[in-house]
């Protein structure tokens, strides 16, 4: 069984094990995999209808071999509202590949309590002593900011994690193509 915090190779990527439950490991790509917009058009959109979800569960998923695909579990994904702005996260979705949300990043990378307690709604960023644990690097070795699936201050913006590891709760425009993709999935363990 894989240990939480360990690095595993699956498909063409290295992944960090975030959690292990019910014979499944929640894994997150160790590095960002590519730069891509959350949605091609600047419009109100949630995870359920965004272009990035279609890409991850289509073209990206299809890069895995049939044997690897058989190990990727189908997951029911809760799309929570933005915790500071109340922006609607949308319906639950069924996905094989997904992005983490704000709450999951706090849960798996460290919880300073600021998400729940220490910030007023007029703040855009969550900066705390866990920033360094959230920094992600791309293939170039440079830190890159990465998308989350949580909405930002409205549904034309989406939350993400900055190059310095701060969480931008207010979000960036859904059509911003400078954001990087850091996919997650549930891997079956036998």
Using the structure block, give the residue that is written with the tokens 């290295």: 14
- Measured at the alpha carbon of residue 151, what is the angle toward residues 87 and 124, in degrees to the nearest 5? 85
In the prediction, which pLDDT does 190 show?
80
**Cα–Cα distance measured from residue 137 to residue 164, given in angstroms and rounded to the nearest whole number:** 11
User: The whole model's pTM is what?
Assistant: 0.95
In the prediction, which pLDDT does 111 show?
86
Q: Choose among 55, 59, 99, 60: nearest CA to 77.
A: 99
Domain ranges in the chain? 7-188
pLDDT means over runs of 10, the chain (190 residues): 91 97 96 97 98 98 98 97 95 98 96 73 81 94 97 97 96 97 96
Quote the tokens at residue 145: 């900011």
Residue 133: helix, strand or coil by DSSP?
helix
In the prediction, which pLDDT does 106 show?
95
Cβ count near 123 (within 10 Å) = 13
In the prediction, which pLDDT does 118 show?
53
């Amino acid at each position: 069984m894989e240990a939480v915090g360990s690095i595993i190779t699956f498909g063409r990527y290295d992944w960090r094990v975030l959690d292990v439950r019910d014979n499944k490991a929640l894994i997150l790509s160790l590095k960002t995999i590519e730069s891509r917009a959350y949605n091609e058009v600047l419009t109100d959109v949630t995870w359920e209808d965004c272009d990035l979800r279609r890409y991850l569960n289509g073209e990206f998923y299809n890069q895995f071999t049939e044997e690897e695909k058989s190990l990727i579990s189908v997951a029911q994904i809760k799309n929570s509202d933005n915790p500071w702005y109340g922006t609607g996260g949308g319906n639950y979705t069924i996905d094989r590949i997904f992005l983490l949300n704000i709450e999951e990043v706090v849960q798996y990378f460290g919880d300073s309590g600021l998400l729940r307690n220490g910030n007023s709604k007029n703040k855009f960023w969550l900066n705390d002593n866990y920033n360094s644990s959230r920094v992600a690097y791309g293939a170039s070795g440079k830190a890159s900011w990465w998308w989350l699936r949580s909405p930002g201050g409205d549904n034309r913006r989406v939350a993400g994690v900055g190059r310095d590891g701060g969480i931008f709760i207010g979000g960036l425009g859904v059509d911003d193509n400078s954001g990087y993709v850091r996919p997650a999935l549930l891997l079956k363990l036998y």
